Amino acid sequence: MELYLPPGMIFTRLTAAAFAELEQQWTDECASFGEDFSQFAAPSIEHAKKIASEQPADPRYGIFALQHDGKHEIIVHLNRASLPGTTGHTLRVNWALAAPRYDFAPLVADEIGPSVVGLFIGILQTAQTTMGSRYVKVHLGSMPDRSIFSGMAHGLAGVGAATDVSVRGNWLHLTIG
């Protein structure tokens, strides 16, 4: 099934230059809440910056970003691997990090919902194209992650974009339809 990102959204692999743009946007966003970007998710940001700066980029993993109307909404660390007990490759979403405003402002589902939809579609598109994978596993870091991502995956299964959706441990498993 062909999936399309919602209007105004793009999902791309971050390079060093694109990561510098993200840092500037998120620095400004942190400042608008009186927060210091250097303190915002510092371990994840440093890890992402290191991976995005690798030259040449490793085709097995990378940092990808969902942008909506030019703003970086969410970044994810994707990794493609052959895993025991599967045939072919699995695209793993090791972690996701949303823009600072989702940490510092009251969370409104109507605001983050479209970004979560775009993120999932971008991940599935990447699995079907540049990272050729039959399976997708999403690490669930918290109970809200579990409910949001599980609901999204079951919705995708309902329209035929994914099959065999299940949660095992802290991982959401999908087979791409």
Sole residue written with tokens 């097995």: 60
| pLDDT score, position 177 | 67
Q: Whole-angstrom Cα distance, residue 67 to residue 30?
A: 17
Task: Return the pLDDT at 173.
Answer: 87
In this model, does residue 168 exceed pLDDT 90?
A: no
Say whether 177 sits in a helix, a strand or coil. coil
pLDDT tens digits for range 19-57 = 999 999 999 999 999 999 999 999 999 999 999 999 999
Tokens (6 digits) for 41 = 């998710």
Residue 80 confidence class, pLDDT cut points 50, 70, 90: very high
| Confidence bin at 63 (pLDDT 50/70/90) | very high
Can you state the percent helix, strand and coil of the chain, rounding each to 5?
40, 30, 30
Listed residue (136, 145, 137) closest to 97, CA to CA = 145
